[in-house]
């Protein structure tokens, strides 16, 4: 009921949102990427500087997996809700895939960047700045003039979030009457703080996650289930209990 009556709904999603599309999460035991790979090597500026080839190859594989993945029933349920209730829903995602966008939530706020986008690694001091690059198979493309490297457009540990995204996400959380938190461990800040922002302004906070998260205490309701199964029920007309 609350969801259908709410004039503003904010949804924060994490890697679990895309798990049923076949994209691995980070912190799930056994299947999570950070249980098999070292984030210091693969998700930091220092790691990329030390071994750009390995890091580039790892992201190239993940890019292929994300291009091949399809939005699941949870992504579609959010997009359908946004179409039915124009202007009500803001999706804020920590995910670097484009599954919300491909399902129809084209305005989803991406807190941690876009894995399919390229950007220059170093800020270029030359004028005109880096513009052309040459690619060798298996290596990150580099600037033909100064050697600057191309890197994936994701946020790595220790880096600032893309400008504007966090502010927009905080505004959406602070304006929300219902906050849905889907498929995140709540281990990474500042994204994890959006649930408490919403709670402080009196929003009803619902967590959807098959396992406990670090921010369960912020929730009025915890739905122990998966995104693709629970979101269609929660968001369909008249079928939600929250």
Binding site for ligand OAD (CB under 6 A): 14-16, 19-20, 25-28, 32, 94, 96, 112, 154-155, 183-185, 187-188, 208-211, 213, 226-227
Cβ atoms of 126 and 145 within 8 Å: the answer is yes
Residues noted as catalytic: 112
* Least CB distance to ligand OAD at residue 134 (A): 28
Q: Which is nearer to ligand OAD, 133 or 170 (CB)?
A: 170
Q: Nearest residue by C-beta to ligand OAD?
A: 16
Closer of 52 and 162 to ligand OAD (Cβ): 162
Residue 10 C-beta: closest distance to ligand OAD, Å: 16
Distance, CA of 114 to CA of 100 (rounded, Å): 12
- DSSP string computed for 59-79: HHHHHHHHHH----HHHHHHH
Q: CB 42 → ligand OAD: shortest distance, Å?
A: 10
Query: Of 48 and 130, which CB lies nearer to ligand OAD in the complex structure?
Result: 48
Looking at the chain, list the stretches that DSSP marks H as alpha helix, in order from N- to C-terminal side.
2-5, 33-36, 39-42, 45-50, 52-68, 73-84, 99-103, 165-175, 194-200, 227-235
Query: 21 or 90, CB closer to ligand OAD?
Result: 21
Nearest to 183 by CA among 175, 201, 195: 195
Could you give the CA distance from residue 113 to residue 117 in angstroms, rounded to a whole number? 8
Least distance to ligand OAD, CB of residue 138, Å: 23
d(CA 207, CA 222): 5
């Amino acid at each position: 009921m609350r969801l259908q009556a709410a004039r503003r709904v904010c949804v924060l999603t994490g890697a679990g949102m895309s798990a049923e599309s076949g994209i691995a999460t980070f912190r799930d035991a056994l299947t999570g990427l950070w249980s098999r790979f070292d984030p210091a090597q693969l998700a930091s500026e220092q790691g990329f500087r030390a071994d750009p080839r390995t890091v580039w190859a790892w992201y190239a594989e993940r890019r292929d997996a994300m291009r091949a993945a399809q939005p699941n029933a949870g992504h579609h349920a959010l997009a359908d809700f946004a179409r039915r209730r124009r202007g009500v829903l803001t999706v804020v995602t920590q995910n670097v895939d484009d599954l919300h966008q491909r399902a129809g939530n084209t305005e989803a706020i991406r807190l941690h960047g876009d894995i399919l986008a390229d950007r220059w690694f170093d800020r270029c001091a030359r004028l005109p700045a880096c513009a052309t690059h040459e690619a060798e198979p298996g290596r990150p493309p580099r600037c033909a003039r100064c050697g600057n490297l191309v890197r994936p457009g994701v946020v790595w540990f220790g880096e600032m979030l893309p400008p504007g995204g966090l502010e927009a996400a905080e505004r959406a959380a602070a304006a929300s009457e219902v906050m849905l938190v889907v498929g995140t461990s709540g281990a990474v800040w500042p994204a994890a703080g959006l649930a408490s922002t919403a709670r402080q302004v009196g929003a009803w906070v619902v967590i959807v996650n098959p396992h406990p998260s670090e921010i369960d205490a912020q929730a009025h309701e915890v739905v122990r289930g998966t995104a693709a199964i629970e979101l269609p029920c929660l968001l369909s007309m008249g079928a939600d209990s929250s």
